Structure 1
């Protein structure tokens, strides 16, 4: 029995062991099968992820690419002055007000308020909040109408980017686009996009425009109450607009504020203060400062410019001052049939445009007030003359005391006249510029070369010279062209910068073009000294701001027919330019630069210099001082009786000595001049006399400006040497064209010459044949024949001058 029991125990134990082994095997088999299932699941999951990613990318990049271009809409344009004050603004082409802003330019409180109001889980969801969507669906089914959308901020961006019908299909597209947006943009980027697209009622889009038109602020300056108002409007823009429904707006704001307080975003004191703030009941009016300037900026902008903020160089205080003075002075001019004027003020250091008045009244339709006179091409009159003198100084041709001809002259048929139709014979450079004489300016320009003067003006920014230089000719220096007030003012400002040219700068930060030397500092200083000596015009005694005028170098201009009056002044700090006239082109006897434009120019200067130190230009080291003959303006010879002090450019200015004063020997008894060949015929005596060039001698003698030189002794058998006659007309290498529509007697060419006082007769040889003989200063006329011709003038001593001309 005992033995059988042992066998039984061993059998039971064996059975138990087998069961345990089977259980373990089953467990391991289960694990193995689970591992297979897990591997299969992982494989399927990875395949699903890869496939899902592939199809998502496929849909994102191929079938339904994200229309990112719709996230940026054309902005309105907000033009600011240099002090960041808004000058003017203009709606976009689709007539919406949009002002794009960066996220860091938005009040952090507004950002938190919007997120708390619109999408509390914004920072955590992938673009879609399933809980919010399900809750919204339940509410909509319960109310049997759409009462909630359940849209996240990202989904709202998707809807604004691509508007769809508010149905299930539209919502699915919205969800897909939201997922795409989250793939392409960061959360901060999405917030910035949202704030620039969200509607705020009417034609206002984006928080930048809304902050201005509702509160007159930037988005960063908003109060707690204002942030709550802007956070509440987008859910129903026209319903919660403060200017249309102030009470509904107030109710919506208060709910948002209390919600912020419950969530400890604002404290009780802030809540109390915000609830007491008034609701704005009307939109802010757009400002209308510097209307002509702003219109000019808009006309220059590229249609592809999407940024809405334009920073200009305009100083609001100076702009307001110039507008006020323009209106005041316009009332004075209207009594003289002058209805328009313009003002330009430039900072000489930076070449920035500080103020611009295009007309006294932008809204004066009767007198075309919307025309911008600062950019309207007009004839400048004498306002270009200083630059011919500056070039003459720079090339060493003249100094302030140099002598210029002021006698009748002809350049291929063009004979300039002075304003008073009188001639002075000779004039110093200073006198010619101060008195704005025409003939000396034309003679100097002819000496410089009209092409060089023309190219200088182009280099100086005169943008309206649209013809060839020879089509303007020498009258260019007298204003026979059109310039704009802005271009002319900027050219004068180069004088204020000691000869450095900078393009006129109207936008802050626009330094694309490098400055360059237009004139030498020495030439600018010489011109400035002369222009600062001009006597001030008679200003009306009722203008209190005409007292204590600052030192200003200035020049005026009056166009032909008295249609334009100009005055431009400058000092080291500013350039002020004024134009007066009529946009219609109608003239007025009062339209003279010194009378109609200069008073206003000085009024502006007197005001803008208040508070500024009155400094003047320092004398350049390259300028020297020398004594010159008071008669010729050249360094004196041993016979010059009087000398004066004169400035010159060291190493540049001509050092030729005076050739006017010379000693001659005369017979004490008869007064005849004696030479070595005939001095034995009389009683010799030495006199110092003026011997002027032949081009001047005849005119000066005829007008009793100089004393005639004595005649040579008639018994002299010698030949003395003096200058040959000078042909005045025609000009050497002149070209003439015969008009078929004009009688030939009206197309005759003038032959005229100047000769020394000792001559009695001159002879004209045309193409090597004697054509005519005449007395001194006698005019001869030639009826032209086509071809190339040679003209020789011979005096009675056998001396000659030859020129060539052609007729076509």
Structure 2
């Protein structure tokens, strides 16, 4: 014997001896009875593998719940049954009801009850047919898994064998959960979870004793006592069970009396449809599963109501669809997901607009603004041209077809002016901007830059509400994280939003390097977007409580097909789209009139947020020109402003020049006509001729350069440019009521007042002008070359095509 045998305690030596003896007996039996041992081994193996795993392979419904477990919606299973995924627990009330009705000895038998089987067998033989069953809940689970099998004595024996195997594989609680998940409750309702909703409109744990008893008796004869039919039979079965519960002292007499007085269910309740388009999405991504989402049920209901209210207004203009997405900036969780209005099938009510690619309109202008701030190619109030523009064959127009001449970049963003942003995109670089957008992972912008051209900034590309809200939330989160981490960034800032309650957004690791844009550029962009007076077509916004601090942007696609509004605060991002899912445009459908009212109604449903913390480490206070927004030169009137560090690389103001005036400051002079001692040098703010022409119409305090005094010799640079028509423009000359063709009025701006200019059309002299440089002509139909020459020999040309 081994040394262990002698060193072990007497009890351990006895156990060891017993095991050795038993092993010897088994080996001896196998040697003497090889055939019997082989058969026994085969039977044991067959018994071990006789039970399928998993036991049920039936399709289940896709179910979505809110973050606190409230049912948001469900989709029927592929086989046409309402069958939720397996329940995770069985409520105590239902458990007591089902045990007292079906299997009182459930927790003590090994899967079958010999006494119940014997009693049932005797009674059935005496009756000559099956009048009583002796199946346990375990056997009923087996029978449910073997659906379609005839109820014969052989099948009963097989059920018993499989039931014992099920008892060895699963705990009693697990078997009870299998029964509650797979039991039939009449019609196409399978399982306790869906039965509680369909018959009582509540979750299983909210069922009363009477409701639990009603559901407990239904699986026994689901076709016979389907709610709404055979009411008296159902009542008798339920009350008999409630009487048992009272006898077992599980309920008192008062509860019993109240329970038997409760009405029976009459017809199935419809399941909640709180987020039908989110259910569509989850049915694609997680078919047949129960998903607990990040949705806030109270907010989702409120957003649904807001969308429904605005749908009633929008459809008066034959606008039938809208969508709203609400995200938490800090967690990136989706709090509300309303994919469409409650319209009808004719107007595509089932289309999930949140994921549909639509023309972006102006909604991406803040990205370009932030990109140029980040690159040090723009300051917040740098003047950008707003003048008639033609680039190759592309002629952008503002929503309001007027020109400011020059406008601060931040104001251009606030007012959503198109021409300044097209010119800014040309300066920044189309390919370069396309690369920046790629960092945002906007999946619908998947073509090369040349495919979109400069229209990219005005809606020439398509994106979707999901990706755009994700991007705005990521920008807001960049500023938040920069403050929270003491001036650091996260490598995975532009992470996908979260739709599941148990998931967290992956922000990556902390880094000193910016992710896409620095926090200062984003903050200044949000500052510009925070302005409230946002005219787009001369509408002044008056519906919003100015105490709320929100960075928001609207957008309208070409042809008034898409209306956008996206707003960001420190805590939330809300995105709104309105329009027609089939792409039909409608007059008056704009971001301001259609989407923005929804945006602010949803913001009113959220807690107020404080404004973003200023990222001081990414900003520097600098002296800038009060007039032009550029870095101040020595000639500029100065003011201070916060700019990105990269903004210090921008050039000084190019529009302030030192001019020499006479003693009365009426004329410009030089040493050819005035002694140096009598010349007054004064800084002057001067814009190029075309910019000046429009700028001074909107700025009464703008002063054009005084002319040179007549006795002065000048050889300084002069400039002139066409105001109208634009290059290669098609000009239509209509006829008046008398049948006479209207004139084409050509306009030119000249930098030197009082200069004489000479006009030619196709080398034919027309005349000259001195003060106001306008010339009316009636050219023949076709292509013409207009030439203008000033008295100093400067020349400009323009080609137009005339149509009558």
Which TM-score bucket, shorter chain as reference? 0.7 to 0.9
Equivalent position of 1:593 in the other structure: 591
For 1:369-417, what per-residue CA distance to the aligned partner results, in whole angstroms no more than 9, with x for missing partners?
A: 3333333322222121111111111222212221223344554443433
DSSP 3-state at the match of 1:150: coil
The 1:116/1:378 distance shift into structure 2, 3 A limit, reads: same
TM-superposed CA distance for 1:92, in Å, is: 0.9
TM-superposed CA distance for 1:94, in Å, is: 0.9
The 1:650/1:713 distance shift into structure 2, 3 A limit, reads: farther
Q: How does 1:305-384 map to 2 (within 5 A)?
A: 306-307=288-289, 309-362=290-343, 364-384=344-364
DSSP 3-state at the match of 2:67: coil
Equivalent position of 1:584 in the other structure: 582
8 Å Cα contact 2:62/2:84 also seen in 1: yes
Greater alpha carbon shift after TM alignment, 700-709 vs 263-272: 700-709
C-alpha separation in 2, matches of 1:39 and 1:590: 94
The 1:703/1:428 distance shift into structure 2, 3 A limit, reads: closer
Equivalent position of 1:94 in the other structure: 79
Residue 471 of structure 1 pairs with residue 451 of structure 2? yes
TM-superposed CA distance for 1:780, in Å, is: 7.5
- Structure of greater Rg: 1
Number of residue pairs matched?
Answer: 684
For 1:481-504, what per-residue CA distance to the aligned partner results, in whole angstroms no more than 9, with x for missing partners?
A: 122233333333334334554433
Q: How does 1:286-297 map to 2 (within 5 A)?
A: 286-297=271-282
Residue 385 of structure 1 pairs with residue 370 of structure 2? no
The 1:701/1:148 distance shift into structure 2, 3 A limit, reads: closer
The 1:333/1:615 distance shift into structure 2, 3 A limit, reads: same
8 Å Cα contact 1:568/1:601 also seen in 2: yes
C-alpha separation in 2, matches of 1:122 and 1:43: 37
C-alpha separation in 1, matches of 2:129 and 2:342: 57
8 Å Cα contact 1:110/1:228 also seen in 2: yes
The 1:102/1:389 distance shift into structure 2, 3 A limit, reads: same
Which of 157, 181, 199 aligns to 2:184? It is 199
Equivalent position of 2:634 in the other structure: 638
Equivalent position of 1:621 in the other structure: 616
C-alpha separation in 2, matches of 1:599 and 1:189: 52
DSSP 3-state at the match of 2:688: helix
Equivalent position of 1:654 in the other structure: 649
TM-superposed CA distance for 1:145, in Å, is: 0.8
Equivalent position of 2:259 in the other structure: 274
Equivalent position of 1:697 in the other structure: 688
8 Å Cα contact 1:664/1:688 also seen in 2: yes
Residue 147 of structure 1 pairs with residue 131 of structure 2? yes
C-alpha separation in 2, matches of 1:547 and 1:534: 9
The 1:261/1:322 distance shift into structure 2, 3 A limit, reads: closer
Equivalent position of 2:780 in the other structure: none
DSSP 3-state at the match of 1:628: strand
Residue 117 of structure 1 pairs with residue 101 of structure 2? yes
DSSP 3-state at the match of 1:778: strand
TM-superposed CA distance for 1:468, in Å, is: 1.9
DSSP 3-state at the match of 1:383: coil
Greater alpha carbon shift after TM alignment, 143-152 vs 265-274: 265-274
C-alpha separation in 1, matches of 2:34 and 2:243: 50
Equivalent position of 2:143 in the other structure: 159
Residue 510 of structure 1 pairs with residue 508 of structure 2? no
Greater alpha carbon shift after TM alignment, 494-503 vs 553-562: 494-503
C-alpha separation in 2, matches of 1:39 and 1:466: 75
Q: How does 1:204-283 map to 2 (within 5 A)?
A: 204-283=189-268
TM-superposed CA distance for 1:120, in Å, is: 3.4
C-alpha separation in 2, matches of 1:262 and 1:621: 74
The 1:247/1:150 distance shift into structure 2, 3 A limit, reads: same
TM-superposed CA distance for 1:581, in Å, is: 2.2
Which of 397, 400, 415 aligns to 2:377? It is 397
DSSP 3-state at the match of 1:647: strand
Q: What RMSD, in angstroms, separates the aligned Cα atoms of the two structures?
A: 4.2
Give TM-score, length-normalised by structure 2: 0.75
The 1:159/1:672 distance shift into structure 2, 3 A limit, reads: closer
TM-superposed CA distance for 1:710, in Å, is: 6.5
The 1:522/1:188 distance shift into structure 2, 3 A limit, reads: same
C-alpha separation in 2, matches of 1:603 and 1:630: 37
TM-superposed CA distance for 1:477, in Å, is: 0.8
C-alpha separation in 2, matches of 1:703 and 1:274: 82
Unaligned runs of 5+ in 1: 1-37, 727-753, 762-772, 783-808
C-alpha separation in 2, matches of 1:547 and 1:514: 33
C-alpha separation in 2, matches of 1:237 and 1:48: 48
8 Å Cα contact 1:378/1:564 also seen in 2: yes
8 Å Cα contact 1:689/1:709 also seen in 2: no
DSSP 3-state at the match of 1:382: coil
Equivalent position of 1:417 in the other structure: 397
DSSP 3-state at the match of 1:287: coil
8 Å Cα contact 2:185/2:222 also seen in 1: yes
For 1:248-288, what per-residue CA distance to the aligned partner results, in whole angstroms no more than 9, with x for missing partners?
A: 12211222233344445555554444333332233222122
Which of 514, 528, 544 aligns to 1:530? It is 528
C-alpha separation in 1, matches of 2:238 and 2:340: 46
The 1:394/1:110 distance shift into structure 2, 3 A limit, reads: same
TM-superposed CA distance for 1:627, in Å, is: 2.5
Q: How does 1:73-92 map to 2 (within 5 A)?
A: 73-92=58-77
DSSP 3-state at the match of 2:327: strand
C-alpha separation in 2, matches of 1:444 and 1:778: 25
C-alpha separation in 2, matches of 1:260 and 1:42: 55
TM-superposed CA distance for 1:555, in Å, is: 1.8
Equivalent position of 1:687 in the other structure: 681
Equivalent position of 1:454 in the other structure: 434
TM-superposed CA distance for 1:724, in Å, is: 13
For 1:217-265, what per-residue CA distance to the aligned partner results, in whole angstroms no more than 9, with x for missing partners?
A: 3333333333332332222222233332222122112222333444455
Equivalent position of 1:172 in the other structure: 157
8 Å Cα contact 2:339/2:353 also seen in 1: yes
C-alpha separation in 1, matches of 2:457 and 2:232: 69
8 Å Cα contact 2:333/2:499 also seen in 1: yes
8 Å Cα contact 1:80/1:311 also seen in 2: yes
TM-superposed CA distance for 1:297, in Å, is: 3.1
8 Å Cα contact 1:157/1:194 also seen in 2: yes
8 Å Cα contact 1:698/1:777 also seen in 2: no
The 1:579/1:712 distance shift into structure 2, 3 A limit, reads: farther
8 Å Cα contact 1:404/1:426 also seen in 2: yes
